Every structure is written in structure tokens, then in C-alpha cells.
């Protein structure tokens, strides 16, 4: 899981991809956030547990969006490849740390802003567990009216619509398209959109396609001098064919030698038996072999 998180973060940490994700999933494709308006902020925070022990927690990605003097939001992205019933506790802790950090860092408190966390779920099925704090409790205390609830913003990447896929302007659209088509069972996954972050895309495919060839590929550019998912998959397929042919030739030679030896022995036996029979006939003809009483 941590390895997958790192790969996802390599891609999503780029401002163009981060902004694109927010623009499509939050603002329905409108270009509200510009990559230049994003800035880094710390993803690690500390909290004290009930036993007074100090713990550290780390978010996947966290960026500050600031537009003008008065518009500011802290956006977080968390990646999941499996469902987590306790996810609302984690997100509540992450968001709480971001709010607490604002109180600690901003002396005049004029820059306090909202914190919004998106959960990108890369599973092949639906998120089938709780999406809010209230649903995590097996026993109810009849205090729903007073207990604060905390809802999750879960986005199932494999179930994004074609309209949403078309809204993406960054490499993330290629990723989303891949997950949707994989979930639908497409035999071929074609996408001719040029890839900007090629190395990170190959690392991503290596993890999620579970195919080591994606880190061994010498990807060729197309006639336009671009790398697309099609050129990547074509290279992977060709490499697979080359490896298959090489392996087939090797196995063929090995089997050929083995079969040759087997056939040679068999033919040798036949030749030997024929030669012996022929010799016996010659000796009999010359009376060299006499019957033994």
C-alpha cells in the first residue's frame, strides 16, 4: 500500500495534475484553480493520544490554494486502493491538524480558511463501506441530534463518467481512463493523448498493472514526437512478443536437442537391429553359424 501511495504521490504532487483533479472533481471541469496559485504546506502533524503519548501522522498530499487576498482553501488528497471503514476517523484527524496548524502559525488569525479532503479510490469495485462517521458505530447511543457527523468525499475513479474523463486536461485523465476501461473489461486500452510526466506514468503502470515490463521499457515516441498510452502499450506488447519469441526459440532448441537425442537413440536401435539381422543372414549363408544342440 505504501509503495502505491508513493507512486500516486509522484504524479499528483505536480501542480498541473493536482489542480486538474480539483477542477474536475470539485468544480465540474471549470478552470477555477490555476497550478500557479498552489503552494506547498506541511503534510506531517503531531497529536497527543489519550495516554499522553505523542504520535505523528502524515497525509498523502496537501496544498494551499490562494487566489487574490481573500480567497484561500487548503486541499488534501488521500489515495485508497481498498475500502476502509475507519477512514472518517483518519480524515477527521488530518483536517483537524490542518485547522490546528492555522491557529498555531497565524498570529493575527486573519488567514484562517476551510480544509477540504478528497479521497481517490482506485479499487475495481464500489466503495462498499461507511462514508461518514455516523455509520462506523455498531451501537447507537440515541444522540444523533447532538453528535457531530463527519462525511467523506470519496471519488471512485473506476466509475467516473465519460464526460468527467474528457474534462481532465492533465495526465490524470489518462489514468482515470485506464481504470474505467479496466473495470469495464476492455481488451485494449487506447489513448492517444500525449503524456507529460512519462517516467511517473510508467512507475504508476508498473504498480497498478502489476507488470514489471513498464519499468524496463525503452518507450519510443510517435511520429509527432510524443509518448502516449498507445505507444507505451505497443512497446510493452512488442517487448512481450520479443521475449516470447526468444523464450520460444530457447525452448524449441532445448526440446529439439532432447527430441533429437531420443529420435537418434530410437533410430540407432533400429539401425543396430537391422545390422545385426543382416550379419546373421550373411553368416548363415556362408555356413559360419552352426546350430547348437
Which stretches within 127-228 are classed as H helix? 162-167, 172-184, 198-208
Euclidean distance between the first and the last CA atom of the chain, given in angstroms as a whole number: 87
* Cell numbers 497529536: residue: 47
Contact, 92 vs 64, CB < 8 A?
no
| pTM: predicted TM-score of the whole model, two decimal places | 0.72
Q: What is the DSSP letter of 35?
A: G
Return d(Cα 31, Cα 174) in angstroms, integer.
18
Q: What is the mean pLDDT of the chain?
A: 77
Mean pLDDT of 189-196: 80
Return d(Cα 122, Cα 159) in angstroms, integer.
9
Q: What is the pLDDT of residues 35-64, one digit of tens each?
A: 999 998 765 544 444 444 544 467 888 999
Q: What is the pLDDT of residues 195-232, one digit of tens each?
A: 888 888 777 777 765 667 666 666 767 777 778 877 77
Q: What is the pLDDT of residues 112-126, one digit of tens each?
A: 899 999 999 998 899
Amino acid at each position: 500500500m505504501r509503495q502505491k501511495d508513493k507512486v500516486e504521490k509522484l504524479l499528483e504532487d505536480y501542480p498541473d495534475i493536482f489542480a486538474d483533479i480539483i477542477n474536475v472533481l470539485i468544480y465540474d471541469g471549470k478552470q477555477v484553480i490555476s497550478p500557479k496559485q498552489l503552494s506547498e504546506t506541511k503534510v506531517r502533524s503531531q497529536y497527543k493520544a489519550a495516554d499522553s503519548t505523542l504520535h505523528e501522522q502524515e497525509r498523502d498530499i496537501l496544498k494551499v490554494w490562494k487566489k487574490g487576498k481573500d480567497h484561500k482553501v487548503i486541499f488534501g488528497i488521500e489515495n485508497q486502493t481498498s475500502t476502509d471503514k475507519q477512514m472518517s476517523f483518519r480524515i477527521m484527524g488530518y483536517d483537524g491538524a490542518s485547522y490546528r496548524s492555522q491557529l498555531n502559525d497565524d498570529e493575527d488569525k486573519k488567514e484562517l480558511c476551510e480544509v477540504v479532503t478528497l479521497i481517490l479510490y482506485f479499487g475495481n469495485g464500489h466503495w462498499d463501506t461507511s462514508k461518514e462517521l455516523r455509520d462506523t458505530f455498531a451501537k447507537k447511543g440515541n444522540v444523533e441530534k447532538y453528535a457531530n457527523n463527519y462525511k467523506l468525499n470519496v471519488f471512485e475513479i473506476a466509475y467516473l463518467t465519460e464526460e468527467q474523463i474528457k474534462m481532465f486536461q492533465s495526465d490524470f485523465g489518462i489514468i482515470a481512463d485506464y481504470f474505467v476501461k479496466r473495470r469495464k473489461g476492455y481488451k485494449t486500452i487506447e489513448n492517444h493523448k500525449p503524456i507529460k510526466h512519462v517516467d511517473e506514468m510508467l512507475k504508476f503502470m508498473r504498480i497498478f498493472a502489476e507488470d514489471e515490463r513498464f519499468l524496463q521499457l525503452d518507450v519510443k515516441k510517435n511520429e509527432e514526437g510524443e509518448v502516449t498510452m498507445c505507444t507505451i502499450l505497443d512497446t510493452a506488447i512488442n517487448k512481450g512478443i520479443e521475449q516470447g519469441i526468444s523464450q520460444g526459440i530457447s525452448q524449441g532448441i532445448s526440446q529439439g536437442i532432447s527430441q533429437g537425442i531420443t529420435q537418434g537413440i530410437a533410430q540407432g536401435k533400429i539401425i543396430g537391429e537391422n545390422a545385426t539381422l543382416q550379419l546373421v543372414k550373411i553368416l548363415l549363408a556362408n555356413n559360419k553359424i552352426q546350430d547348437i544342440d
